[in-house]
């Protein structure tokens, strides 16, 4: 799968481990920063992740910041993107199955690398439901993007 990954300084350490894991698993990874543990503002990185998704350069995105919350907020500001904080297995698949989420936001200060790998596997293997109720709801979300 084509994946775009980014994060800020608070998520740097976990992001580096995730990046190596994704490459080991054979995914095509577009790493958009940060490239050092120096301070960087997560909205700048989130914009790069979202642009890659909207432009069709990646199928899914992963953002890593301190809690995952700021990254999810920033990504959700980008039209056409749905992001969710993911710290548990259920949310990792449900956010894709029900809400067609493209970006998983993880807290580097919340989740360790072993749990992160499990969450990523579940997130990447999840498929958006073809159920009418979820299709209808996501269509309404897309209408909200057009405002």
Q: Which of 50, 65, 75, 95 is catalytic?
A: 65
Query: Would you tell me how many other CB atoms lie within 10 Å of the CB of residue 126?
Result: 19
Answer yes or no: are the C-beta atoms of 45 and 69 closer than 8 Å: no
Beta bridge partners of 60: 3
* CA 58 and chain centroid, separation: 11
- The closest of 129, 143, 140 to 95, measured between CA atoms, is 129
Cα–Cα distance, 92 to 55 (Å, whole number): 24
- Active site annotation includes 50: no
For 81: left if phi > 0, alpha if psi spans -120 to 50, otherwise beta; the answer is beta
Cα–Cα distance, 97 to 118 (Å, whole number): 17
Residues tagged active-site: 65
């Amino acid at each position: 799968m084509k994946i775009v990954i980014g994060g800020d300084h608070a998520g740097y350490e976990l992001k580096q481990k995730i990046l190596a894991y994704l490459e080991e698993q054979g995914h095509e990874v577009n790493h958009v920063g940060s490239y050092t543990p120096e301070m960087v503002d997560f909205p700048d990185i989130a914009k790069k992740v979202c642009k890659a998704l909207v432009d069709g350069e990646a199928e899914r995105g992963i953002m890593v910041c301190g809690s995952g919350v700021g990254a999810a907020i920033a990504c959700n500001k980008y039209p056409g993107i749905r992001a969710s904080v993911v710290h548990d297995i259920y949310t990792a698949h449900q956010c894709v199955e029900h809400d067609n989420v493209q970006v998983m936001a993880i807290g580097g200060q919340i989740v360790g690398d072993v749990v992160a790998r499990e969450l990523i596997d579940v997130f990447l293997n999840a498929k958006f439901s073809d159920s009418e109720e979820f299709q209808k709801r996501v269509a309404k979300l897309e209408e909200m993007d057009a405002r």
